[in-house]
Chains A and B, each alone.
Chain A
Amino acid sequence: MLNEDTLKHVMATMLNVDVSAIGPDASMDTIANWDSLRHMNLVLALEEEFKVQIPDEDAGNITSYKLIKLVLDDLLAQHRG
């Protein structure tokens, strides 16, 4: 199961915003700091923190909290299965 607190913490750190800004509706559109550079660093950090490899087709597209959670849930489930 994905630890959502950890996810929020990683996102807040990498996007340089307060954890309270990372709600379920957070996305590239709602967070000004979330630009393409920070996005790249965010993907690298997510991979390290959750020990997963985010596939090529997803890496550029996971630009909201919901999408990130979806992809991570999926990857972590595969991990166990």
Chain B
Amino acid sequence: MNAAGAGSVPAANLAVLARPDSTMMQLTQAITALEKDEQARSVKVGVSSSATVDLLGTYLRKHGLLAGTRVEIVPGNYDDPIGDVALFERAGVKQMVLLPFFDTLQPAFEAQLGTLPAEAVDAREAELRLRYRLVFEQARAMDAIYLGTFHRMGGPSDAGADDPVAQALARFNGALREEAAPFANIRVIDSEDIVAAVGRNAAFDARFYFRSKAPYSGAYMNELARRIAAAARGFGAHFYKVLVLDCDNTLWGGVIGEDLIGGIKLGPHDYPGNIFWRVQHELAGLERQGVVLCLCTKNNPADVDDVLRAHPDMVLRDERIVLKKINWDDKVSNLRAIAAELNVGLDSIVFLDDSAFECEAVRQQLPMVKTIQVPAALPDYPRVVQELKQLFLAGGIAADSRGKTGQYKQRAGAEQLKAQFNTQEAYLASLELKVELSRNAGASIGRISELSQKSNQFNLTTTRYSIADVEQMMGGDSHAVYSLTVADKFGPAGLTGVAVMRYDGAVAHVDNFLMSCRVIGRGVETVIWGRIAADAVARGCTELRAAFVPSAKNAQVADFYDRLGLPLLAESAEGVRRYAIAAADFAAPPHSWIEITYAQ
């Protein structure tokens, strides 16, 4: 993040980037100046297209800088996606934008479609599938591919909008999506929706299309770049998991403490209650997709609980809310408490409140929290919520992330149960914990990579693995990737731990071990090591080695290997701790309360 305060030159330049009406001159000057300043991150992005899209580079750099990232553009060649992938890899590019273009599939393809024989269109589709399958295969090592779908340039002359172009477009986009589906590193960007959002007349500039095959206007490129930056989560700037909601004038109109349950505005039919009701449905949809919802409101707990339970039109009832901070403490303290209780960083929290005062206080004291204010003009509220949703969903959410509320609630429920048992062991036994340990589980590659990207606190070396990394390690003989799923009597917690082993002659190294924080403290993290060590012995290893590499966030596992019973070999000045033990001497602590099964 840029440390400069308001009124400084960098802040003024960022303001130029944020303004929708900045001219190309102003953008160019601001971008050039900001790229000379210190930025939090730097990332290379390859751009491959079957049209000329150089202008996209300017806007990717703009949206990168707005997220604190310097984006270095590596341009591909015209209509050579296969060659571009090789070119990008040589240049060290890990993220690429791939923009096939409909009208250049054959010269003036849109105009030709009315007369092309069906076989010719079939053949073009077959070629397209083969070509992009090959591109996707070769780009497996990319962390992310942002794939734009096809769109048309000219509007349909048929009022029913079902002309030959529309039919071919639907078919070719279907083919593209189908070919992309098996690749977890591909994020599809809907180009037709960008044309619709920008407006067909404003999206294209015919002058440069016929001359240089450059079809797009700055307005289109700006919106495309904005969506790519959102899908890339600000090029690594954020990964939001938790949405903290105020109540009065955020979830309903009015103040519950004054208007009482019959007086607040909330319902499907009447203004303004219909806006809040609509917003609640949107937020409930987010919860279904895996976003953790919490309440943080200055009220009497009984009043708010009453609305959650008894208001006939309340959508967000208790079971959708993981944590409630209903008290008269300041929001900053409550947000800190929520982060601590959920075991997440403050930078993974989005905070929604109607009060300018509260929003400003949080922005100033907790700048890492993404704070969004309910707009004063209520009809704008659904649009603001759409933007909020994009913060969570634009990057795509792996299937296993869904239903997180249930999982976090299980954890919260388990915390309460904990109080009733005399011994930790009796409590753990009552949970009926089941762990399934898998070796090289190909079906979980996406989730394994995602967990390695997201886990900060329980992460022994903070080595991140891309999908391609995991695939490669699973496929080769020198590594093994263990993953574990945990379930208890309250339900499954999903895939929550990953251990990566590297075998080097007689030595088995733990390359990294990481877990989702929501299952820690039940012995799961130690019970798996007996089997992993046995596997290493079976392939001829006689020594186990492991290391802890400190990061800003992983202090809680600094002594993990000590707890596992490994002797400390050395500790460097930077705090890197190295451990080694003869395989014959290693015995994982037994946990009678965990039922463990293995899957190869």
Binding site for B on A (CB under 8 A): 10, 13-14, 16, 36-37, 40-41, 44-45, 48-49, 56, 59-60
Selected contact of B208 from candidates A13, A14, A48, A59, CB within 8 Å: A59
Q: Does B218 contact A (CB under 8 A)?
A: yes
User: Is B206 among interface residues, defined by CB-CB distance under 8 A?
Assistant: yes
Report how far A59 CA is from B32 CA in the complex, Å. Answer: 25
In the complex, the 9 A-B pairs of residues with the closest C-beta atoms, listed nearest first = A37-B54, A48-B23, A45-B24, A56-B207, A60-B211, A59-B207, A45-B25, A44-B24, A40-B208
Contacts of B23 in A (CB 8 A): 45, 48-49
Q: Closest chain B residue to A45 by CB distance? A: B24
Cross-interface CB contact of B55 among A13, A16, A41, A49, cutoff 8 Å: A41
Q: Is B556 interfacial (CB-CB < 8 Å)?
A: no
CA distance A48 to B28 in the complex (A): 13
A10: chain B residues within 8 A (beta carbon): 25
Give CA–CA (A60, B212) in the complex, Å.
9
Give Cα A16–Cα B214 distance, bound, in whole angstroms.
21
Inter-chain contact B212/A40, CB cutoff 8 Å: yes
Contacts of B327 in A (CB 8 A): none
| Chain A min CB distance to B387 (Å) | 27
Q: Known: A56-B207, A59-B208, A60-B207. Contact between A40 and B214, CB under 8 A? A: yes
Contact between B207 and A48, CB atoms less than 8 A apart: no
Minimal beta-carbon separation of B357 from chain A (angstroms): 39
Q: Identify 14 residue pairs between A and B in the complex whose beta-carbon atoms are under 8 Å apart, listed by A's number.
A: A10-B25, A13-B29, A16-B32, A37-B54, A40-B214, A44-B218, A45-B23, A45-B28, A49-B23, A49-B25, A56-B206, A59-B208, A60-B211, A60-B212
B456 is an interface residue with CB less than 8 A from chain A? no
B17-35 vs A: 1/0 string, CB under 8 Å?
0000001110011001000
**B158-189 interface code vs A (CB 8 A; 1 in, 0 out):** 00000000000000000000000000000000
Q: Which residue of A lies closest to B29 (CB)?
A: A13
Q: Does B58 contact A (CB under 8 A)?
A: yes
Cβ A41 vs Cβ B28 within 8 A: yes
Looking across the interface, which residue of chain A has its beta carbon closest to that of B75? A37
The 8 Å CB contact of A14, one of B25, B55, B212, B214, is: B25
List residues of chain A with CB within 8 A of the CB of B58: 41
Q: How far is the CA of A14 from the CA of B29 in the complex (A)?
A: 9
Whole-angstrom distance between the Cβ of B225 and the nearest chain A Cβ: 14
Contact between B29 and A40 (Cβ–Cβ < 8 Å)? no
Given A13-B29, A59-B207, A41:B24 Cβ within 8 A:
yes
Interface string of B34-71 (1 = CB under 8 A from A): 00000000000000000000110010000000000000
Q: Would you call A48 and B54 a contact (CB within 8 A)?
A: no
Residues from chain A with Cβ under 8 Å of B24 in the complex: 14, 41, 44-45, 48
B residues lining the A interface (CB < 8 Å) = 23-25, 28-29, 32, 54-55, 58, 206-208, 211-212, 214, 218
Q: Which residues of B contact A16 (CB under 8 A)?
A: 32
Other-chain contact of B25, A48, A59, A60 (Cβ < 8 Å): A48
Residues of B within 8 Å of A59, CB to CB, are 207-208, 211
A61 to chain B, nearest CB (A): 10
What's the dominant secondary structure at chain A's contact region? Answer: helix
Complex contacts, A40 vs chain B, CB 8 Å: 54-55, 208, 212, 214
Question: Considering only CB atoms, which chain B residue lies closest to A55 in the complex?
Answer: B207
> Does the CB pair B211–A14 fall under 8 Å?
no
- Complex CA gap A49/B26 in Å reads 10
Contacts of A14 in B (CB 8 A): 24-25, 28
In the assembly, what is the distance between CA of A40 and CA of B218, in Å?
11
CB distance from B61 to the nearest CB of A (A): 12
Which A residues lie within 8 Å of B218 (CB)?
Answer: 44
Chain A residues with Cβ below 8 Å from B54 are 37, 40
Closest to A37 in B: B54
Q: Which of A14, A16, A45 has the most CB of B within 10 A?
A: A45
Neighbouring A residues of B214 by C-beta, 8 Å: 40
Bound Cα distance from A44 to B58, whole angstroms: 13
How far apart are B205's CB and chain A's nearest CB, in angstroms?
Answer: 8
Would you give the shortest CB distance from A5 to chain B, in whole angstroms? 14
B211, closest chain A residue (CB): A60
B201 CB, nearest partner CB in chain A, Å: 14
A44 CA / B32 CA spacing, docked (Å): 18
CA–CA, A48 and B212, complex, Å: 21
CB distance from B581 to the nearest CB of A (A): 59
Q: What's the nearest-Cβ distance from chain A to residue B471, in Å?
A: 36
Q: Please, how many angstroms separate the alpha-carbon atoms of A44 and B208 in the complex?
A: 11
Query: Which B residues are in CB contact (< 8 Å) with A36?
Result: 212
CB-based contact B25/A13 at 8 Å? yes
How distant is the Cα of A44 from the Cα of B214 in the complex, in angstroms?
Answer: 13
Task: Give the Cβ gap from A34 to chain B, nearest Cβ, in Å.
Answer: 14
Query: Given contacts A40-B55, A41-B58, A49-B23, are A13 and B212 in contact (CB under 8 A)?
Result: no
CA distance A59 to B211 in the complex (A): 10
The docked-state distance in angstroms from the alpha carbon of A41 to that of B61 is 15
A60 cross-chain contacts in B, Cβ below 8 A: 207-208, 211-212
Q: How far is the CB of B53 from chain A (nearest CB, A)?
A: 10
Among the interface residues A13, A16, A44, which one has the most CB atoms of the partner chain B within 10 A? A44
Closest B residue, CB atoms, query A16: B32
Give the Cβ gap from B29 to chain A, nearest Cβ, in Å. 6
Further 16 A-B residue pairs, CB within 8 A, beyond A41-B24, A41-B28, A48-B23: A13-B25, A14-B28, A16-B32, A37-B54, A37-B55, A40-B54, A40-B55, A40-B208, A44-B24, A44-B218, A45-B23, A45-B28, A59-B208, A60-B207, A60-B211, A60-B212
Residues in chain B near residue A13, CB distance under 8 A? 25, 28-29
Question: What is the distance, in angstroms, from B330's C-beta to the closest C-beta of chain A?
Answer: 46
| CA distance in complex: A56, B55 (Å) | 18
A54 shortest CB reach to chain B, Å: 8
A10 to B26, CA, bound (A): 10
Minimum CB–CB distance from A60 to chain B (whole Å) comes to 5
Query: In the complex, what residue of chain B is closest to A49 when comparing beta carbons?
Result: B25
Give chain B nearest CB distance to A17 CB in angstroms.
12
Alpha-carbon gap, A45 to B54, bound state (A): 15
Chain A residues within 8 Å of B32, by CB: 16
